[in-house]
Amino acid sequence: MGEPRYDFSREEIQAIYDLPITTLVYLAQSVHRRYYAPDEIQMSTLLSIKTGGCKENCAYCPQSAHHATNVAAHGLLPVDDIVAAAREARDNGSSRFCMGAAWRNPPKKGPQFEKVLEAVREVRKLGLEVCTTLGMLDEEQAQQLAEAGVYAYNHNLDTSPEYYGDIISTRVYQDRLNTLDNVRKAGMTVCCGGIVGMGETKNDRVGLLHQLNQLCPHPESVPVNLLVKIEGTPLANEKDIDIFEMVRTVATACIIMPTSRVRLSAGRTQMSDEAQALCFMAGASSIFTGDKLLTTPNPGEDRDRSLLQRLGLKPVEAGSPEREHTSCGKGDGVACQAAP
């Protein structure tokens, strides 16, 4: 056990997910140690470079123009502001800087996309790994971002294919898979995960994990977000999910995608220190640092520094390369067919 497999059946994943938590966490930690140092946490910092007014209707998102939230929308930030934020993130120990834009897809060519490419080149010069999340990409945009120096592209599948339509109706699952395909073909690494706590069933969480497992090669990063409930969005009054479902999702992701770095992403402000520690024991080895995610609060440098210190964990050195993924040998990142 521990070598990447792309053919887990949904039933097999379900069986792993349902293991007694002691066995599940033990297995996840054992697999994690084969590929990663057990005491290292990779830190990424996010910046929203274009906020609000998005044409998509994602039910969880404060930045959708379809929901009346009180996000302060702004257009694309000046390149200098982006670079200043990246420098500060690096000085605070981040090894990756992730720029997010509330776009259905980036504008085709033109000054806005040029500005993004320029920001990527400048942030790259600071020695940071550059990540972007800008919505759907065509082949050419993916190529241009890769050439400018984007290391990773974040594009989440969010939930199971069956539940997707309940959460977003302005695009379909296949649109996301197509972008992931373009990202792979362009040679960027893939950051792809989802959200728990959106009213989905356990079967949906397993369905998402199954889809992620079939991405071939597996995404290098798998962000697991806990829903941040935002007033004005359709999910504002969603009931709290049992936090052990989050732990199970993290642990199962680590077991079925052993070379992927699983990131404890949004929602940490609602999680106790103990719950976060349990996620680290279950193999999560990355967090977003800073006091803001894209538009919502995050624990902040001081709180995280103290948490890592109490747990005896340390940040991954900036500039140390991510472990290369093990290729399935089946090609270019299109979902491989699961074994019958």
Which residues contact ligand SF4 (rule: CB under 6 A)? Answer: 54, 56, 58, 61, 63-64, 102, 104, 135
> 3-class secondary structure for the chain?
CCCCCCCCCHHHHHHHHCCCHHHHHHHHHHHHHHHCCCCEEEEEEEEEEEECCECCCCCCCCCECCCCCCCCCECCCCHHHHHHHHHHHHHCCCCEEEEEECCCCCCCCHHHHHHHHHHHHHHHHCCCEEEEECCCCCHHHHHHHHHHCCCEEECCCECCHHHHHHHCCCCCHHHHHHHHHHHHHCCCEEECCEEECCCCCHHHHHHHHHHHHHCCCCCCEEEEEECCCCCCCCCCCCCCCCHHHHHHHHHHHHHHCCCCEEEECCCHHHCCHHHHHHHHHCCCCEEEECCECCCCECCCHHHHHHHHHHHCCEECCCCCCCCCCCCCCCCCCCCCCCCC
279 catalytic residue (yes or no)? no
**Two structure tokens written together for 122:** 């400048």
Active-site residue identified among 90, 96, 131, 205:
131
Applying CB under 6 A, does 135 fall inside the site for ligand SAM?
yes
Of 44, 182, 225, 259, the one binding ligand SAM (CB under 6 A) is 225
Is residue 98 part of the annotated active site? The answer reads yes
Single-letter code of the amino acid located at 193? G
**Shortest spacing between CB 61 and ligand SF4, in angstroms:** 3
Question: Considering the complex, what minimum distance in angstroms separates the CB of residue 176 from ligand SF4?
Answer: 10
Task: State the binding partner of 198 from ligand SF4, ligand DTB, ligand SAM, none, CB within 5 to 8 A by kind.
Answer: none
> Any catalytic annotation for residue 58?
yes
Nearer to ligand SAM, 25 or 183 (CB): 183
Among 102, 128, 209, 247, binds ligand SAM (CB under 6 A): 102
| Partner from ligand DTB, ligand SAM, ligand SF4, none binding residue 227, C-beta < 5-8 Å depending on class | ligand SAM
Nearest CA to 282 out of 257, 260, 252 is that of: 252
Return the number of the residue (56 or 204) whose C-beta is nearest ligand SF4: 56
Active site residue 61: yes
From ligand SAM, ligand DTB, ligand SF4, none, which one binds at residue 295 (CB under 5 to 8 Å depending on kind)? ligand DTB
Residue with tokens 């990202």, as numbered in its chain:
183
Residues 289-328, interacting with ligand SAM (CB under 6 A) = 294
Check if 90 is active-site.
no
216 is catalytic: no
- Report d(CA 75, CA 102) in Å as an integer: 10
Binder of ligand SAM out of 36, 60, 164, 288 (CB under 6 A): 60
- From ligand SF4, ligand SAM, ligand DTB, none, which one binds at residue 64 (CB under 5 to 8 Å depending on kind)? ligand SF4
Look at residue 158 and give the partner it binds from ligand SF4, ligand DTB, ligand SAM, none, a contact being a CB closer than 5 to 8 Å depending on partner kind: ligand SAM
Active site residue 254: no
Instruction: Enumerate binding residues for ligand DTB (CB under 6 A).
Output: 46, 62, 98, 100, 133, 154, 156, 193, 223, 225, 228, 265-266, 293-296
* Residue of 82, 266, 278, 316 interacting with ligand SAM (CB under 6 A): 266
- Which active-site residues does the annotation give? 54, 58, 61, 98, 131, 191, 263
- Which residues would be at the binding site for ligand SAM (CB under 6 A)? 60-61, 100, 102-103, 133, 135, 155-156, 158, 195, 225, 227-228, 230, 266, 294
